[in-house]
Structure 1
Amino acid sequence: MNLASSQKTNGGALATLVLVFFFWGFIAASNSIFIPFCKTFFNLTQFESQLIGTAFYGAYFIGSLVLYIISEARGKDLLNKIGYKKGIILGLVISIVGALLMIPAVSNENLQPIEQHVAKVQKLKKDQKVTTADKAVTLKKEETGYSITVANNAEGQPHIANTAITSNLNEPFHVAEKDKSGKLTATFSDNKVSAIVQALKGEQIAFGNFPFILLALFIIALGFSLQQTCAQPFALMLGDPATGATRLNLGGSVNSFGTTVGPIIVSFFLFGTVSSSVEGTSVSSIKTLYMIVAGVFALVAIIFAVSKLPDGKNDTAFEKAPKASRSLMWLTGLVIAIILIGQFTEVSKLALLIAIIVGVVAILFASNGAAVKNPEGWGAMKYPQLIYGMIGIFVYVGVEVTIDNNFGALLHIPGYLTAEGLDESQISRYVSLYWGSLMIGRWTGAISVFNLSATGKKIATIVVPFIAFAVVLYVNRLNGSDVSDLYGYVVCIAIIIAAFFYGQDKPVKTLLTVSLLATAAMLIGIFTNGIVSVYAFIAGGLCCSVIWSCVFALGVAGLGKYTSQGSAFLIMMILGGAVIPPFQGVLGDFSSIGMHRSYYVAAAGFAFLAFLALKLRGVLKAQGLDFDQQIEKSH
C-alpha cells in the first residue's frame, strides 16, 4: 500500500476527512425531519413520504453495485487505479451536484388548483390530509367521513361564510375541543367530497417538485457511497497503521455526532425555533442549508486536491466473481421491474414491496445454493455466513431507518404523546435522541479500541454512555428545546449498559442480547402510549448501535482472500433502508393497522436478527470458527 512516508498522523488531513464523516450522518439523520415536513407540505401519503429514504439509501446500493460491476469488467479495482484520494474528491463533486440541484428543487413551488384534485381527496386514507398552500383550509380523512378545518382569520373567513361549503356539512363550524389555535372545524360525509372541493375553487395545493427533491437526494447519497468506500481505508493511511482503528473510531464518533445534531439544525432552518409553527413555513427555507453543504463539500474537495496527501492506492488483487455479479444484476433487475410495475399499474404497493423483500432473500439463497454445488465463479457468495450476513445487513439497516423515518408520523397522531399530536416543528428532540442513542452505543462500543485496564474499561463502559447522553441533551437545549421529558431515558441507558457487560464484546452473544432487548422494546412501544412508548421506540437506537459491527464481523468471518469482496457485498445491502421503511409506511396507511401498530415491522426485524445470531453461530461452528469462544479465551 502506498503509505505516507511518515508514521506521524496527518492531523490537518484527518480533521478535513472527519468533517466528511460528520456530513454523512448529518444528512442521513436530517431526513427524519424532512420526511414528515414533506408529507405535510406536499400532501403525501405515509408511503410516498418514505420515498425520501428510498432515494437516499437506494443510491448507496446503486453506487456500490456500479463500482463493483465496473471493477469486475476491468478485472481490477477501479479505485486502485484512480486512488482513494481522487475517489473522495469525485464523490464530493457528485454530492455537490446533488446539493446544488436541491436549491432549485425547493425554490420553486408548483401550485395547482385544488378543484383539479377531487380524486386525490377521495383516495385519502384515515388521518391523511390535504392542506391548501396558504394553510387556510385542511381536509382530513376521518374514521368515517371527512373533516374540514379552517383558519379563523382573513384567509379563512370567506370559506366559513361560503354557503356552498356550509350547506354540505354535517354540523356547523365550531372550535374543536382539543384545538388551542382557534381554528374552526366541521365534518362532512364521503359523498360530499366533490362538492366541498369544488366550493374551495381558487385555493391551491403544492405539487410537482417532490420528484426533483428525490433526485437531488439520490445524487447526494450517490456521492456519499463513493466517499464512504474510499474514506475508511484512506483514514488508515493518514498515520501509523497501528493507530488506524483509533482514527476510524474518531470518524465514526463524529459521524454519530452528525446524526445527533442533524435533525436539530434542519428543524431550525425549516421552522426557526422549536416554538415556531409549521404553518407558514416553506420548503424553500432549507435551500440555505444546502448552499452551505455544497460550499463545505467544495472546500473539502479543494483541500484534498491541492494537498500533498498520498493517492491511496493498494496492490491487493481483485478477486473476480462473474456469477456473483450476474446474481447481483438479477437482484437489481428484479427491484427495477417491480418499481416499474408499481409505476404503471394499479398493483398493490404492499404486494410489490413484499415481492422485493422475498425476491432479495430468494436470489441470495439461490446464489449460495448454486455456489455450494459449483463454487467456481461465485467468489465470496459460496460462503453461507456471507449470505446470512447480507440478509442481516438488509434487515438491520431497514429496521434502523424505519423506526426513525416513520416516527414523525407517529408523534403527529393526536393522543399518542400529546392530546393534539406534535407537528413537524416539535419533533426534533425525539429524533435527535434516537440518533443520539446510536452515538451513545457507538461511543461505548469504541472503548475497547483504547488500551485501558480491566477496571478502567468497566468504569468507562458505565460513564461514557451518560456523558454521551448529556451531550445529546445539551445540543437540544441550545436550540431552545425543553428536554425535561427526556431525563427518564436514563433507565434505558442503564439497561443497555447491563447488556454490554453481559455481551462481553462477543459478537454472537451481543447480537442475540441486543436483538432480543430491541424486540421487547418495540413490543412495549406498540402496547403503550405516551412517553413510555416513545422511550421504548427510541431505545431501538441503543440496540442498533452495535448490531452493524456484529453482523459485519460474523458475515466476513472465514472469507480469507474474499474478505474485501464480501465487505463490498455487505455494504450493498444498505438497500434495506430503501425498502423496509416504505413497507412500514404502506402498513401505516391502512386504517385497520395505523402508524402505531405498523411498528410490528421493527419488532419482526429485530426478532429475525436474534434468530440470525443463532444461525450464524451454527454456520461458523461448522467451519471451525467460534469468535465468542476465542474472545472468552483472550480475556
Structure 2
Amino acid sequence: MNDKLKETNYPALYTLIVVFFFWGFIAAGNSIFIPFCKNYFHLDQFQSQLIDFAFYTAYYIGALLLFIFSTFSGKDIVGKWGYKKSIVYGLLFSALGAGAMIIAVEVNLYIGMLIGLFIVALGFSLQQTAANPFAVLLGDPRTGASRVNLGGAVNSFGTTIGPLVIGFALFGTFETISDTEIANLPLNKVIYLYIGVGLLFILAAALFHFSKKVPAGINNEPMESANKAKNMLIIMTILLLLMFVPVFLSYKSDTALQLEALSAQLAGTTDANTIAQLQNHITDLSHPLELQRMAWLFGALVVVVGCLILAYNKASKKPQGWGAMKYPQLVLGMLALFIYVGVEVAIGSNLGELLKLEEFGNLQSSEITPYISMYWGGMMIGRWAGAISAFEFSRSTKQILLVIVPLLAFALIIGVNTVAGFDMSHLYFFLACVAVQIIAFFLSKEKPVRTLIIFGTLGLLSMLIGLFSVGTTAIYAFLTGGLACSIMWGSIFSLSILGIGKYTEQGSAFLVMMILGGGIIPPIQGKLADIIGIHNSYILPLLGFVYIILFAFLARNFLKKQNIDTDNIQASASH
C-alpha cells in the first residue's frame, strides 16, 4: 500500500479560490446595499430585505433545477459537464447578472436590481455546486478538507472587504452622508463597480477555460433515485411562491395606495392637530395590513418546516423513493442549515436599521460600514480558526494557532477599515468577545455536536443580551452572533451527511438548497421589525439558535441509534 499523498494541483487551486472570494464579496456587500436602497427607494424594512430574498432564493432555485434535471437524466448534470466547465458556465451567468444590474441601476429600477442580483446568485449556485468537490479533486482526498477550508478563508476575506468596497461605490465617499441625502446620490459608481465585477467574472471564466493546468473534473457516477424527494421540493417551492405573492401584491392594494397618499399628506403639513389625526388614521389602516402580511410570511416558514417534517415522517415509514431524505439526520440537518443561514444573514442584514435607533448611536447609513465589516469579519475570524484543524499540526501548535489566528484576523479587520478611513476605536474592545470565541473553540474540541451546542449557546446568550440591553453592549452582543455562526456550517453539514453512504452527494445537494433560509428568514425579520420594531425583531435569530442547539442533541441521538460515533469526526469550517 502506497501512503504517499497525491500532489496538489496548486495553479488550478489558486484559480479556483478566486470564485470563493466572489461569493463572500457580493453576499456581505448586500448588508450595505439594504439600508442604502431603503433610503434611496423609500422602502419599508421588509421591502429592503428583498435583496436577500432575491440573492439567496436564487441559490435554492439553481440547486433545485440542477437536481431536477439530474433526476430526469439519471446522472449528475454538473458531474456530466465537468466541474471546470460548470464553473465557467456559472461565472458567465454571474457576468450576465452583473450586466442586468448595470441596466437596472441606469434606469433606476429597484425590481431590476433584484433581478440582477438573482441572476448573479444563480451563477453562484452553479459555481458552488461544482467548486467544493472540485477543490477535493485537485489533490489527495485525505487533504481535501484543507483545500475547501482555504477557499473558505478567502471567501471570508471577501466578506470583510465587500462592505467597504460596496459602501464606497454606493456613497461615493467614506465620509458621513445623511440618510435624507441618499435619495439624491448619483449611482454612477455602482455602475462602475458592476462593470468591474462583470469583467472579473469573465476574466475568471477565461482563466478556467483556457488554463491547461485546470482538469475537466468530469464525474459520470449515476444519480441515486429520489423521485418522492424531488416532488416534495417542487411542491414546497410552489407553496412558498403562493405565500409570497399576496405579500408582494399587497403593496399595490387600495389600502397601500391610501397609506401612501396619507404619508405624502403628513409630510406636507405642519399643523399639530392634522398631524395627530393623520398619524392615527395611518396606524388604523397599516396595523391590520402589516399583520396580514406577517401571517403570509409566517406561512412561508411553516411551509418549509412542515414539508421537511412531512418528508421525515413519510420516509421513516416507507423509505423507497426518498433517497437521502430517508435519513433523519439529513432532514433535520436541512432544517438546521435553513435556519442557520437565515439567522446568519438576518442578523447582519438588519443591523444597519438597528444602528439608526437613537439608543444604538443614531447612525446614518453611510456610517454603518465598519459594523457590517466587523460582523462579517467575525465569520472570517471563526472560519480561519476552524480551518486550523484541517492541517497536520501538532496538538501544541494547534492550540497556539487557535489563539494567534483569531487575533490576527481581528487585527486585519481593524486594519482594512482604518486604512479605508474609518475610526475603529469604538470596536477595539470587541476583542473581548473574540476572546470568548477562542475559549469556545477550546471547549468544543473539534467535535461537531459539542461545537454546535457551545456555539449555539454563545449565539443564544448574545441575542438575549442584545435584546435586553442597548448601546455598545447590545451592539457587541449582536456582532457576537457572527462569531457564533462562523463555525456552524461545517458542523451541521458533517452531522447531516454522516452515515448516509452512497447518498452523500445527493444529501450534500439537498443541504446546499437550504441556503434558501437566507432568502426567507431576513424578510420575515424585516416585516416583524415593521410591526414590533427592529430591536425586538431579533427574537427571531434567538429562536433560530434554540433549534440549532436542539438539532445537535437530536442528531447525536439518531446517529447513536445507527451505531455511529459523532466524537470521531471533524467538520469543514467553510461554505
Q: Using structure 1 for the length normalisation, give the TM-score.
A: 0.80
Provide Cα deviations, 1:62-94, integer angstroms capped at 9, x if missing partner: 000000000001111111221111100110111
Q: TM-score, normalised by structure 2?
A: 0.88
Provide Cα deviations, 1:88-119, integer angstroms capped at 9, x if missing partner.
0110111000001111111223xxxxxxxxxx
Distance 1:241 1:625 in 2: 22
1:94 to 1:483, Cα distance in 2 relative to 1, 3 A:
same
Alignment check: 8 A CA contact 2:467 2:535 kept: yes
Give matches, 1:91-240, under 5 Å: 91-109=90-108, 209-240=109-140
For 2:6 and 2:437, the matched residues in 1 are separated by: 38
The whole-number CA distance in structure 2 between the counterparts of 1:615 and 1:81 is: 36
Distance 2:78 2:113 in 1: 29
Distance 2:314 2:49 in 1: 35
1:479-498 matched pairs, under 5 angstroms? 479-498=420-439
Instruction: Provide the rounded CA distance (Å) in 2 between the counterparts of 1:508 and 1:577.
Output: 23
Q: Give the alignment of 1:437-516 within 5 angstroms.
A: 437-516=378-457
Question: C-alpha displacement at 1:618, in angstroms?
Answer: 1.4
User: Which AA in structure 2 matches 1:610?
Assistant: I
More strand by share: 1
Check if 1:622 corresponds to 2:527: no
Q: Residue 487 of structure 2: SS of its match in structure 1?
A: helix
Distance 1:240 1:559 in 2: 22
Query: In the alignment, is the contact (CA less than 8 A) between 1:410 and 1:416 conserved in 2?
Result: no
**1:347-358 alignment, distance < 5 Å:** 348-358=292-302
User: Residue 559 of structure 1: CA displacement?
Assistant: 0.5
Aligned to 2:331: 387
**Structure 2 equivalent of residue 410 of structure 1:** 354
Deviations 1:470-526 (A, max 9, x none): 010011011100011111011101111111111111111110111111111011111
1:310 aligns with 2:215: yes
Counterpart pick for 1:518 among 451, 459, 467: 459
Aligned residue for 2:494, secondary structure, equals helix
Distance 2:364 2:354 in 1: 10
TM-superposed CA distance for 1:272, in Å, is: 3.1
Shifted more, 259-268 versus 348-357: the winner is 348-357
Partner Cα distance (1:20, 1:378) in 2:
33
Matched, 1:254 2:154: yes
Query: Which residue in the other structure is 2:187 paired with?
Result: 283
The code of the aligned residue for 1:305 comes to H
Question: What is the match of residue 329 of structure 1?
Answer: 234
Match of 1:186 in 2: none
Quick one: distance in 1 between partners of 2:342 and 2:321? 30
Q: Is the 8 A contact 1:32 1:263 kept in 2?
A: yes
Q: Note the alpha carbon deviations across 1:324-359, whole angstroms, 9 max, x for none.
A: 111111111111122223334567221111111111
1:605 aligns with 2:544: yes
User: Which residue pairs with 1:340 in the alignment?
Assistant: 245
SS at the partner of 1:524?
helix
Q: Is the 8 A contact 1:256 1:435 kept in 2?
A: yes
**Higher Cα Rg, which structure:** 1
Distance 1:334 1:630, change over 3 A: closer
Aligned with 2:364 (options 423, 427, 431): 423
TM-superposed deviation, 1:232:
1.4
More helix by share: 2
Give the deviation of 1:237 after TM superposition: 2.7
Q: Which amino acid aligns with 1:390?
A: M
Shift in CA distance, 384/7, structure 1 to aligned 2, threshold 3 Å: closer
Whether 1:371 aligns to 2:277 is no
Is residue 294 from structure 1 mapped to residue 294 from structure 2 by the alignment? Answer: no
1:171 alignment partner in structure 2 = none
C-alpha distance in structure 1 between counterparts of 2:233 and 2:313, whole Å: 15
Distance 1:81 1:625 in 2: 33
Supply the AA of the counterpart residue of 2:207. I
In the superposition, relative to structure 1, how do residues 629 and 90 fare at CA in structure 2: closer, same or farther (>3 Å)? closer
Distance 1:350 1:284 in 2: 36
Distance (whole Å) between structure 1 residues aligned to residue 445 and residue 143 of structure 2: 23
Q: Structure 1 residue 461: deviation in Å?
A: 0.7
* CA distance in 2: counterparts of 1:281 and 1:515, whole angstroms: 41
The amino acid that maps onto 2:230 is S
Would you say how many aligned residue pairs link Structure 1 and Structure 2?
522
Q: Is the 8 A contact 1:273 1:480 kept in 2?
A: no
Alignment correspondent of 1:45: 44
Contact 2:52 2:522 in 1 (8 A): yes
| C-alpha contact (below 8 Å) 1:54/1:579 kept by paired residues | yes
**Which of 297-306 and 336-345 deviates more?**
336-345
Question: Bigger CA drift: 312-321 or 473-482?
Answer: 312-321
Matched, 1:564 2:511: no
**1:531 and 2:472 equivalent?**
yes
Distance 1:58 1:253 in 2: 24
How far does residue 450 in structure 1 lie from its aligned partner after superposition? 1.3
Cα pair 1:41 1:283 within 8 Å, conserved: no
Opposite residue 349 of structure 2, the aligned amino acid is N
**Structure 1 position 629, deviation (Å):** 6.2
| Gaps in structure 2 of 5+ consecutive residues | 254-288, 571-575
Distance 2:414 2:569 in 1: 39
In structure 2, distance between residues paired with 1:330 and 1:538: 36
Residues 108 and 284 of structure 1 are in contact (CA less than 8 Å); yes or no, is this contact kept in structure 2? no
Answer yes or no: is 1:273 the counterpart of 2:173.
yes
Moved more, 617-626 or 338-347: 338-347
Deviations 1:406-446 (A, max 9, x none): 00001112x2222xx11111111000000100100000011
1:268 deviates by: 1.2
Distance 1:577 1:298 in 2: 27
Q: Which ranges of structure 1 fall in alignment gaps of 5 or more residues?
A: 1-5, 110-208
Q: Is residue 546 of structure 2 the alignment partner of residue 587 of structure 1?
A: no
Contact kept, 8 Å, 1:396 with 1:609, in 2: the verdict is yes
Aligned-pair distance for 1:630? 6.8
Which residue identity is paired with 1:500? F
SS of the residue corresponding to residue 595 of structure 1 reads coil
State how far apart, in whole Å, the 2-side matches of 1:276 and 1:286 are.
Answer: 18
Q: Counterparts of 1:81 and 1:295 in 2: how far apart (Å)?
A: 27
Determine if contact 2:35/2:365 at 8 Å carries over to the other structure. yes
CA–CA separation in structure 1 for the residues paired with 2:161 and 2:207 = 25
Shift of 1:238: 2.6
